[in-house]
Amino acid sequence: MLKHLSLKSVLVSGAVALSMVGQAHAYEPARSAECIAPANPGGGWDFTCRSVGKVLVDQDYIKGNVQTVNMSGAGGGVAFAHTVSKRAKDDNLIVAASTATTTRLAQGQFPGMNSDQVKWVGTLGADYGIIAVGKDSKYTSLSQLIAALKQDPTSVKFAGGSASGGWDHLKVLITAQKAQVENLPKIRYLAFSGGSEALVQVVGGHVDAFTGDVSEVKGFMDSGDLRVLAVLSEQRLPAPFNKIPTAMEQGIDSVAPNWRGFYVPGKASQESYDWWVDTMNELYTTQEWKDIMTKNGLMPFHKSGAEFTQFVKNQTLDIQILSKDIGLIR
């Protein structure tokens, strides 16, 4: 396996040294690595960094530790700008990303920045969107909540962990659009610095509904403090989330997968980039990661390297068109 290859073992002959395999594996990771989570602790990006970091250490890919650094702001823009401007050549840095990242890039929310300024490593699963309310909410189904929005689009206040116009906000607008709700820009959305902050507001009864991802809500579901009205997936998720009805079951054709993955600095060495791509490919197949996916409601979704890079470009364009259609951008 990759993790057991040393530089010495790879360069066993001049022929191997000149081969693509030799070049790809010539990079030796530093003892420790850093993972930037572009939000406060408790949300999806934080989960991505901490859970992947643990597997990297447990499976001996990294000999030391993987430090998670929380860097919130601008829906991921602060972390993106930091990576591009201050860490452009850092081989030992990975940054958590998701559909929320491509959403902000698509809407031009990272001024002067674009997807070509970083290198896209890969995805390690998809986290489907949900719409949820507190246990004491008057809404017991997505249909009831949508009916309220149709009567008055300002009647329901949503909280999410992405910036206004970001992916959490878009999930509500996409769902409302599919349900023929009018005056979409009037729907109220409060942006917080991460899913955990938004959840606290909803569970505490200060905001009507939560829009986020299924991996963020298991603790509140287990405690009974949160009622998930719908998961935005094609079909019901496996246990322990199989009791959550889909929006499609309730007559609303809304599907919103949020991939979880990473990028690295744009000027990181090709050798380190190849190592990160190969390592994430391997990590995705480990039993430890499969168990984490099952426990947290992550569904299979894996793209890496060149394929992932092209996927990011395509998704960014698609979200740009959607954002124009809904009226978020011109």
Ordered structural domains, the chain, with CATH: 2-127+260-326 (3.40.190.150), 128-257 (3.40.190.10)
Residue owning tokens 């007559």? 251
Q: Is the pLDDT of residue 14 over 80?
A: no
Average pLDDT, the chain: 90
Check: pTM over 0.85? Answer yes or no: no
What is the pLDDT, as a whole number, of residue 87?
Answer: 97
Mean pLDDT of 240-251: 95
Q: Tell me how far the alpha carbon of residue 230 is from its chain's centroid.
A: 19
What is the pLDDT, as a whole number, of residue 99?
Answer: 94
Q: In this predicted model, what pLDDT tens digit does every residue of 110-132 receive, in sequence order?
A: 989 999 999 999 999 999 999 99
Contacts of 157 (CB under 8 A, 6+ apart): 188, 189, 190, 207, 208, 209
The SS3 assignment for 306 reads: helix
pLDDT band at 42 (very low <50, low <70, confident <90, very high): confident
248-251: long-range contacts, CB 8 A cutoff, minimum separation 24? 250/141, 250/142, 250/143, 251/143, 251/179
Lowest mean pLDDT among 232-236, 266-270, 275-279: 232-236
Q: Is the pLDDT of residue 51 over 80?
A: yes
Longest dimension (CA), the chain: 74
pLDDT band at 24 (very low <50, low <70, confident <90, very high): very low
pLDDT band at 26 (very low <50, low <70, confident <90, very high): low
Asked whether the beta carbons of 294 and 302 are under 8 A apart, the reply is: no
Q: In this predicted model, what pLDDT tens digit does every residue of 217-230 receive, in sequence order?
A: 989 999 999 999 99
Q: Is the pLDDT of residue 18 over 80?
A: no
Q: Is the pLDDT of residue 156 over 90?
A: yes
CA atoms within 13 A on the CB side of 205: 4
Q: Is the pLDDT of residue 20 over 50?
A: no
Q: Is the pLDDT of residue 57 over 60?
A: yes
Encoded amino acid at 229, one letter? L
Mean pLDDT of 243-268: 96
Q: Distance from first CA to last CA of the chain, Å, rounded? A: 49
Separation CA 260–CA 94 (nearest Å): 13
Q: In this predicted model, what pLDDT tens digit does every residue of 185-210 receive, in sequence order?
A: 899 999 998 899 999 999 999 999 99
What is the pLDDT, as a whole number, of residue 8?
Answer: 33
Nearest CA to 68 among 24, 34, 107? Answer: 34
The SS3 assignment for 57 reads: helix
Separation CA 281–CA 112 (nearest Å): 31
